[in-house]
Structures are given as C-alpha cells and as structure tokens.
Amino acid sequence: MLRETEPLCGFTIAVTADRRRDELAALLERRGARVVLAPALRIVPLADDGELRAATTALVEHPPDIVVACTGIGLRGWLEAAEGWGLSEPLKAVVAGAYLIARGPKARGALRAAGLVDAWSPDSESCDEVLAHLLDRGVDGKRIAVQLHGEPQPEFCGALAAAGADVVEVSVYRWRPPADPTPLRRVVDLALGRLIDAVTFTSAPAVGALLRMAGPDTGALLDALRTDVLAACVGPVTAAPLHRRGIPVMQPSRARLGALVRALVEELPKRAPTLRVAGQEVTLRGHAALVDGSLRPMAPAPMAVLRALAAAPGRVLSRAALLTALPRGADEHAVEMAVARLRAALGGSAFVQTVVKRGYRLRVD
C-alpha cells in the first residue's frame, strides 16, 4: 500500500503513450499518482508494406550520400523488415557508407546495436537543427534517405528538396487513431474540468491527436493547458507543437521516461496551493487535500468546491457562484451536498463556514 508521503499522492496524471504506457504508468503509480491511461495513437508497423520494400530496394541499388535516422523504433523496424526480405546486410552496407545522422539518443542506440556509427547528432534532438546542419554542409545533388518518425515531414523533406537534394522518404510505421477513442475523450473532459493535474506526451503526433479529439473544445483545452493542467513532454520534439500554440511545457533535461517522472515529482508539488485553514495547513492536489500532511481523497464535486473557495480565500461565495464550479446540470442542492461532503473529507465543519443568506467561505487564518 502506498504511503501518504509518496510525492505524487493526490495527483492525477494522464498518460497518452501507447507503446510504453504500462512502464510509464507503473513509474508514476509507484510514486503515489493516480493514472488515467488514454493512448492517443497506436503504431501500425509496415513490415509487409510495398512502399517500404520499394524504398529499401531503391536505396540498395542507388546508395544514398546521407541517411537521417529519426527514431530508434523506426530504424529497428526497418532493419527487421529488410532482414525478412533478405536485404538486411546490403541495407546496412549502404547506410554505413553514407554520412549518418542520428536525430537523438534512441536512434543512435539503435544504430550502435546494428553495428553502425553515426557521424553527427544534434544537441537539441530536433529536426530543425538537423536541417540547418545539412543545409550548412550543402545538399545540392545529394541523395538523402530520411527515416520518418510516424508522420510525413513535408517541411523538413521539402526544404532539402528545394535545396537540390534527391530525398527518399522511408516510412517504417504510421500512426493510427486508437482502437477505442473513449479514454482519450475522457482525458479532454477531465482537463476541461481541471480534474487532472498533468498530461504526459511521448510523441508530437500524440499532441495533435489530443487536440483533434477536443474538436470544438480545443480552445478551452488549450486554456486549461496554459493554466491549471501541466503539459509534460519527454523531449523538445514532442513539445514543439505545444510551444507553437503558446503552451508552457515541462520537459526533463534528458529524453527518458524516468527523467520525465522525476521532473513531475519535482514540479507538481510546487504547483499545489497551500493555505492555513482553521488552524491547519491544507494543500490542494488534484483529487485530494493534504491536511497537516494527512491525505484526504475527495470526489470531483467537493474537490471542485474546495478549489473554488481556495481561489478566493476568506471571501464568501454564493451558492450560485459555487454552482458554476460543478458539472453542468447540477442545482443548488448539489452545492449543499458537495459542501457537506467537503467538510466530512476535511475532518469537520470548522474548515468551511456557512454565512447565513450569503453562502460559504473557507475559514482562512
């Protein structure tokens, strides 16, 4: 059983990853978090895809001058598919003979595992830095193989082609919507209601998938991510779509799941507001309050009322004002029930004071 002292107790974190979701969820739960699993996408490998085989054969017959390996999983999948076609060794030979770029440490690790050594890798792990490096070297007349990372990269490949390069796009896998979109829609709703503290992303396409799922609520979702819900990205490439929309992003110094979890352990408790109420220290977390260090989990309605009262410490909020914090369709009786449940969860009526004919207030010291 988790101790209340675990650093993420009381916080709810959404995981949008597919491939390593169980690993990430286990790391978060071990530190006390409540995890909502909602794969934003699923990876569809293309081992039997005619396009991939044709691109591989073309590169073996006409070797590239430059090879850009974007992802570890993609490079491994490409080599495995080539082995099934009897092209593994010829493919390795042409890759080894090219100017080899690894976009990040995972791609470099996959290259080294295959006995290949990259000539250069960007510090930022970003395609923009790779593009700048190649354009600075000069690509006119060069044949460049780009192993894509799940989605087409028209800006990157288009810029190389415009500079005179012969670009061969190698798509080893593609992103597809999840088989069941319900969990992802639930994450949108939870974020809109401020019922989760953070959403984790391990790929840029997952960011796009969540925003597409929001549909007409996209603006409200972006507002939640700018304010109350922390966007946690594993690295700069993943964070780029959020940065472009002006979303503040938390990312670790190293693009690793363990580093992402450590960054959340450090950041989320800092974001939790703490008040002195009725002589005790009350800290608000996603689905619970810490009362003098003791964890008090709550249902969404009393937690929403506590959050609204804490945002106006000491002020009286009317039932009508508190009603706006509850789910649509609730009435003033629901406010009274939520206040009663809030008092019970906190440990007594001393925390929330009734002001006759006016409403309720937190008894802030």
pLDDT of residue 47: 53
Q: Is 287 exposed, middle or buried (0-12, 13-18, 19+ CB in 10 A)?
A: middle
CB atoms within 10 A of CB 138: 11
* Contact indicator for 118, 102 with CB cutoff of 8 Å: yes
Residues of the chain scoring pLDDT < 70: 1-4, 45-48, 150, 328-329
Alpha-carbon span 257 to 23, nearest angstrom:
8
CA 286 from centroid of its chain's CA atoms = 17
Element (H, E) at 336: helix 332-346
Alpha-carbon span 71 to 75, nearest angstrom:
6
Element (H, E) at 259: helix 257-271
Helix (H, G, I), strand (E, B) or coil at 201: strand
CA 242 from centroid of its chain's CA atoms = 10
CA 133 from centroid of its chain's CA atoms = 28
Alpha-carbon span 35 to 20, nearest angstrom:
14
Report pLDDT digits (tens) over 59-85: 999 999 999 999 998 899 899 989 989
pLDDT of residue 2: 43
- Domains, the chain, ordered by start: 12-41+178-271 (3.40.50.10090), 44-174 (3.40.50.10090), 274-362 (1.10.10.10)
CA 337 from centroid of its chain's CA atoms = 35
Alpha-carbon span 70 to 55, nearest angstrom:
16
Nearest-5° Cα angle at 42, 39 to 43 = 145
